[in-house]
Amino acid sequence: MDFLPSSAVAAATAHVRDILGIAIEHAAPARALVVFDTRTALSRALTEAYQANLPDGRFVDFDAVTADEVHAAFRAMVAGDLVVLIQSTNFRLEAFRIRVELFKLGLKVVEHVHLSRMPGAQGEAYIEALAYDPAYFRGVGHRLKALIDGAARAVVRGGDAELVFEGGLEAAKLNVGDYSGMNNVGGQFPIGEVFTEARDLEAVNGRVQVHVFGDTNYRVNRPDTPITLIVERGRVVEALDSTPAFDEVLAIIRADEGEVWVRELGFGMNRAFTRERRVDDIGTYERMCGVHLSLGAKHGVYPKPGFKRKDARYHIDVFAVTDEVWLDGVRVYRDGGWEVRTGS
């Protein structure tokens, strides 16, 4: 059985303490339930970290009980209590969408998922990504949102490519560990993202170089040479230097949706992940400090005329080679980091 080094467990323990105390604001008399598995070194390390921080919590080994017992444990909680899910894959409880249903009960939720995709050193990178710096995440996150919400034009430049978003952006959404004013507290960790999309999807034009994309197995796929997407009126019309795996992604989208739309414009903020420092799980790597886009018509956060939920099937993350990001005349990203002023 593999284990992460004790230094990684100690780091996880410290980061979990900040997540619980600062981001989630969990405190007595609220109770805590942790449902975990022991299939991977990372799941075991995280479970140990939560045990250290929640000495009065209830811990349930998902693989040692029945589904009915898990449901009963959930039902024993009351609004304001905390549920933590530590999953080497993702727990299956028939048609029960765990996080959604727990939010409906008024519970706070911290979810760690697909941990088996991040073995060895990737597990240590995942733990580093759990570090919660409220001044950075909240300060930079809220400032980015203010600039996004007021911008008439956004430009992503990387390599010899430039992708331009004209006509304004949708009101940005935050995933920065600040749940004030939100219906739900918590979500999938690690965190660190501000995202939006063009108000007019057809007002996106130019080129963008893709250094990583999510493949059909929801894993990070990094081509030897960045793939250049040519975008016209919000649609990918050509992919230069493509690979068979990326061609497969495009073919699947086109087969079911007819064309490949560019929708989400995501600003990842988590400094533990970079273009060079990656983890295999695409949903975790999505937080990397840089820019990602989504391909496909699916983006339920921003309803658009002509896009029906039942017909929009795909939301594939692709990661842009990014040297600079501009919102109107303000450069907000350069040299691998966000450079916005906070508190103004």
Q: Which of 147, 164, 120, 94 is nearest to 279 (CA)?
A: 120
**CA–CA dist 294, 289 (Å, integer):** 16
Q: Which amino acid does the sequence have at 80?
A: G
Residue 322, pLDDT above cutoff 80 = yes
CB of 315 closer than 8 Å to CB of 257: no
Residue 261, pLDDT above cutoff 70 = yes
Q: Which of 136, 154, 139, 132 is nearest to 205 (CA)?
A: 154
CB of 318 closer than 8 Å to CB of 292: yes
pLDDT for the residue 309: 82
**CA–CA dist 284, 291 (Å, integer):** 14
**CA–CA dist 326, 332 (Å, integer):** 6
**CA–CA dist 292, 83 (Å, integer):** 30
Residue 306, pLDDT above cutoff 90 = no
**CA–CA dist 131, 18 (Å, integer):** 8
CA distances from 217 to 115, 181, 213, 245, 333 (A): 14, 35, 11, 11, 30
CA distances from 259 to 17, 71, 255, 312 (A): 46, 41, 8, 11
Mean of all residue pLDDT scores within the chain: 96
**CA–CA dist 116, 41 (Å, integer):** 9
DSSP 3-state assignment of 217?
Answer: coil
Q: Which amino acid does the sequence have at 274?
A: T
Q: Which amino acid does the sequence have at 193?
A: E
What average pLDDT does range 233-240 have in this prediction? Answer: 98
DSSP string, 112-175: E--GGGS-THHHHHHHHHT---HHHHHHHHHHHHHHHHH-SEEEEEETTEEEEEES-BPPPEEE
Residue 2, pLDDT above cutoff 80 = yes
pLDDT for the residue 92: 83
**CA–CA dist 148, 169 (Å, integer):** 7
CA angle 109, 110, 113 (to 5 degrees): 125
pLDDT band for 93, please (50, 70, 90 cuts).
Answer: confident
Residue 310, pLDDT above cutoff 90 = no
pLDDT band for 96, please (50, 70, 90 cuts).
Answer: low
Assess whether the previous peptide bond of 29 is cis (omega < 30° from 0): yes
DSSP string, 246-297: HHHHHHHHHHHHSS-BEEEEEEE-BTT--SSS--SBHHHHTTBSEEEEEESS
Instruction: Give Cβ neighbours of residue 310 (< 8 Å, ≥ 6 apart).
Output: none
Residue 67, pLDDT above cutoff 60 = yes
What average pLDDT does range 40-58 have in this prediction? Answer: 98
Q: What is the DSSP letter of 42?
A: H
pLDDT for the residue 97: 79
What average pLDDT does range 323-341 have in this prediction? Answer: 95
Please tell me whether the overall predicted TM-score, pTM, comes out greater than 0.85 for this model: yes
Q: How far apart are the first and last CA of the chain?
A: 51
pLDDT for the residue 308: 84
**CA–CA dist 220, 122 (Å, integer):** 12
pLDDT for the residue 244: 98
What average pLDDT does range 199-207 have in this prediction? Answer: 98
pLDDT for the residue 48: 98
Residue 344, pLDDT above cutoff 70 = no
Query: Token pair 């008399």 is at which residue?
Result: 29
Helix (H) or strand (E) holding 109: strand 108-112
Residue 95, pLDDT above cutoff 60 = no
